[in-house]
Amino acid sequence: MTVSVLMALYNEEEFVGAILARVLQAPLLEGMNREVIVVDDGSTDGSALVAEEFASRYPGTVRLIRHDRNRGKGAAIRTALEHARGEFAIIQDADLEYDPREFPKLLRPLADGDADAVYGSRFMMSGERRVLYFWHSFANRILTTICNIASDLNLTDMETCYKAFRTALVASIPICSNRFGIEPEITIKLAKRGARIYETPISYHGRTYEEGKKTGFRDAVQALAVILRYWVSGGIYKNSEQAILDAFAHTPKFNRWMADTIRPFVGKRVLEIGSGMGNLTRQLASGRQKYVATDIDQEHLARLRARMHHRTNLAIERCDATNPADFIPFAGQMDTVICLNILEHIPDDRLALRNIRSTLIPGGRALILVPQDQNLFGSMDQALGHCRRYSKDQLRTRIEESGLHVEQILDFNRTSRPAWYVHGKLLKKPTVRRPTLRLFDRLVWLWRPIDAWLPWPSLSIIAVCIKPSS
């Protein structure tokens, strides 16, 4: 297991050699290796030369990347993340204010699987700290409080440099701030992603402005502006498909409608293929003897573990619908397989259906929801990674070929068909805004009773299938 230490370097010639030596000597947890990624952010002194010397002395461990001009801490950390290869990452300043000997405290909750991010707090006192400026500390606490309001967290030190996290998680978040606004931006976006954030007390050896401290009143004002901006805006996924799925995670009434539609057919031992962020898992897992939620995306699995850790009947596993080996542990054990909005993503959907059949007991059911009508295929389908949309006859044929029998095919969600056509076919927009979905969700009480009476085909279809006894 590798830890990536991310260091933004700007005019720290006096200190960078000492801090690099400390980082290289710092203890880690057992079995962990380290890499140090230094991003020289346009230094005008000899900082880059010192870092370059360490990179030559420790090839493969210390890497130096150069910016052609000074862009700010946020831009440097963003560059470092692009080159990070470790499972975990720690942000380390290039001065001596933070002590790398405390790395194990930051890494322990991550390695134990309890946390997605760990903040080292200078105000949860268990060690020593240098007593310095009141107004600087006061501004820090004010910004932390406002950021807590925006993110619904209870951090004691949002502005701390020491932030450790799962690298894949933060690498999947678009970070836009170039300067010290990275601190509130990453905090708010981690909160919106549902990340499990821990704090641990750290010691702090702050320096005065005469000694080279770089943050000031301008940065506090910018941090406040960043908090206000990301309080109301989205932008928490780089991937457009994941952004759309996250938007649907905030439509609980619609998700309940979908869950209620298939609930009468769901048994006691359930395998869900492609659980995503758990929108349906949360609705259906209660009351089951065993519920296995699966996905191939590690970030989806991590979010599932964070959201569903209290469910004792729930197992969360990686499962590729096209890999027969992933289905061996469930072979002939499940009375229900749920596969909603997954089959259309898979080039070889026949193989996926055969794998689903292999897990079912005789008489077990598979519930398969897919988008209907290839004529609707447009920009939204492309953004979501769809290979196709289905007709009822095509879906029935695919299922029967796999050895399952189709009991019935249900129409679902006629209401959204006109909007999907306008949005994806006419306007060719690749995504849908979260406020639009929230408005739709608030009106689900109206859509549900009138949906069956609308005079056009449904947006999706649900096949209720059974595995024959012989």
Q: 284: pLDDT confidence band, cut at 50, 70 and 90?
A: very high
Cα separations in angstroms, 89 against 200, 298, 368: 16, 17, 39
CB-based contact 193:236 (threshold 8 Å): yes
Q: Counting runs of H as helices and runs of E as strands, what totals does the chain give?
A: 19, 14
Q: Which CATH architecture has domain 2-235?
A: Alpha-Beta Complex (3.90)
Quick one: pLDDT band at residue 308, thresholds 50, 70, 90? confident
- Reported pTM: 0.80
The rounded percent of the chain whose pLDDT value lies above 90 is 68
Whether the predicted pLDDT of 209 surpasses 60: no
Give the pLDDT of residue 451.
96
Residue written as tokens 């461990």?
61
State the average pLDDT over residues 279-307: 89
Which residues, 6 or more positions from 394, have their beta carbon under 8 angstroms from its beta carbon? none
Identity of the residue numbered 79: T
**What does the pLDDT read at residue 28?**
95
For 361, the enclosing helix (H) or strand (E) is strand 360-371
Confidence of residue 206 (pLDDT cuts 50, 70, 90): low
Helix-strand-coil split of the chain, %, nearest 5: 45, 20, 35
294 has which bridge partners?
317
What is the overall mean pLDDT for the chain? 90
DSSP 26-85: ----TT-EEEEEEEEES-SSSHHHHHHHHHHHSTTTEEEEEESS---HHHHHHHHHHH--
**Contacts of residue 11, Cβ cutoff 8 Å, sequence gap at least 6:** 43, 44, 45, 47
β-pairing, 2-9 with 88-93? parallel
Listed in order, the ranges of the chain carrying CATH 3.90.550.10 are 2-235
pLDDT at 306 over 80: no
Q: Which pairing describes strands 460-466 and 2-9: parallel, antiparallel, or unpaired? A: unpaired
pLDDT higher than threshold 80 for residue 130:
no
Contact predicate 362/468, CB 8 Å? yes
**In which band, very low, low, confident or very high, does the pLDDT at 355 lie, cut at 50, 70 and 90?**
very high
What pLDDT, on a 0 to 100 scale, did the predictor assign at position 217?
67
Distances in whole angstroms, Cα of residue 44 to Cα of each of 8, 9, 11: 14, 11, 6
In the predicted structure, residue 299 carries a pLDDT above the cut 70: yes
Residue whose entry in the numeric block shows the structure tokens 């056009």: 456
C-alpha–C-alpha distance, residues 309 and 143, integer Å:
31
Residue 387 carries which DSSP code? -
Token reading at 263: 């609930």
The span from the CA of 151 to the CA of 307, in Å, is 17
Whether the CB-CB separation of 39 and 79 falls below 8 Å is answered with yes
For residue 260, what pLDDT is reported? 96
The answer on pLDDT for 212 being more than 60 is: no
**Tokens (6 digits) for 267:** 């048994």
Check pLDDT > 80 for residue 181: yes
CB 461: neighbour CB atoms within 10 A? 23
- The answer to whether 273 and 343 have CB atoms below 8 angstroms apart is no
Higher pLDDT, 364 or 223: 364
Say whether pLDDT at 470 is over 80: no
**Structural contact between residues 410 and 372, judged by C-beta atoms closer than 8 angstroms:** no
CATH tag, 241-466? 3.40.50.150
CA-based radius of gyration for the chain: 26
> Residue written as tokens 């359930």?
270
pLDDT over 70 for what percent of the chain? 94
How confident is the model over 96-106, as pLDDT tens digits?
Answer: 889 999 999 99
- 425 confidence band (pLDDT: 50, 70, 90): confident
Residue 245 has pLDDT above 80, yes or no: no
Mean pLDDT, residues 377-384? 89
Q: If DSSP codes are grouped into helix, strand and coil, which group holds residue 283?
A: helix
> Strand, coil or helix: what is 103?
helix
Give the pairing type, strands 405-412 and 460-466.
Answer: antiparallel
- Domain span(s) for CATH 3.40.50.150 in the chain: 241-466
Across 272-288, average pLDDT: 91
How confident is the model at residue 301, as a pLDDT? Answer: 87
Res 239 pLDDT > 90: no
Q: Check: CB of residue 365 under 8 Å from CB of residue 267.
A: yes
